[in-house]
Amino acid sequence: MLTHDAALEWIARWDRQQEGYLPDREERFTALIDAVEALGRPDPLVIDLGCGPGSLSGRLLERLPQARVIAVDADPLLLGLGRAAYPHLTFVSADLRTSGWTSLLGLDGPADAAVSTTALHWISGPELKGVYAELASVLRPGGLLLNGDHMDTGDATPALSRLEHAVHDRETARAFGANPPEDWRTWWDAIGADPALSSLNEERTTAGADHHGSESHLLSHHVTALGEAGFTEVGTLWQRGNNRLLCAVR
């Protein structure tokens, strides 16, 4: 049986392996939550898209304890970890690629912000347009989408894109040298070997939650889809190499 303490340990290990790809991950979290706080509400309604085990949602509530955060993901194992670790959060099982996912959120009014970190690049370009269009329907005017992810610009500015990758690679080398944290695959292999997670692992194999490659890795994919969904302003709010925080205003 998965306990609260065991879930927290697995999420701490998740955070460490994520930092191997994002040595400035905490700085990006801080910038994202700064933007939510700058909306000026002590109690914003926030939707966390592709929340995983709740790393971002948990940090957001630490800063804004009166916020209402609805954390959405399709992976039953990551949701199980989040529910065990953060009982004060609202977790919703939903596939963002399926039309009507917003009806599962239990909203009683428009949301002030939607946030996401290292998640939406798994959604293909055509599906991304649908996700953003449906999201726009539940955000208030002036509400924000804040999406932190690796987003490349090689289709528009290839020389700058190479420099962005170089900056990111050097930052990673400075942070970890020859001793990087465990990688994503190793973390999942360890999860699969934990008998306390056997039922969640079994559920995951039939849920269709596995990732099958990055499909919307270009910045232009997101900017175009957001514009078509009715977001009026789209731009980079924070950046380190090709790791950026994209902000869109409803």
Length of the chain in residues, anyone?
250
Q: Residue 211: which of 31, 73, 28, 103 has the closest Cα?
A: 73
- Taking the alpha carbons of 19, 85, 147, 205 in that order, is the dihedral positive or negative? positive
Task: State the pLDDT at residue 217.
Answer: 93
pTM of the model: 0.95
Task: State the pLDDT at residue 214.
Answer: 57
**Residues paired with residue 68 on neighbouring β-strands, in sequence order:** 45
How far apart, in Å, are the Cα atoms of 231 and each of 114, 121, 222, 250?
Answer: 13, 19, 11, 4
> 100 near 92, Cβ under 8 Å?
no
Tokens encoding 194: 């934990």
Task: Considering only CA atoms, give the Rg of the chain.
Answer: 18
* Digit-coded pLDDT (tens) for 7-61: 999 999 999 999 999 999 999 999 999 999 999 999 999 999 999 999 999 999 9
* Digit-coded pLDDT (tens) for 241-250: 999 999 999 9
| Nearby residues of 173 by Cβ (< 8 Å), 6 or more positions away | none
Strand locations in the chain (E) = 45-49, 68-73, 90-93, 111-117, 139-150, 233-240, 243-249
Q: How far apart are CA 165 and CA 243, in angstroms?
A: 9
* Digit-coded pLDDT (tens) for 221-243: 999 999 999 999 999 999 999 99
* Digit-coded pLDDT (tens) for 165-215: 999 999 999 999 999 999 999 999 999 999 999 999 999 988 766 665 558
Q: How far apart are CA 171 and CA 173, in angstroms?
A: 5
Q: Is the pLDDT of residue 70 over 70?
A: yes
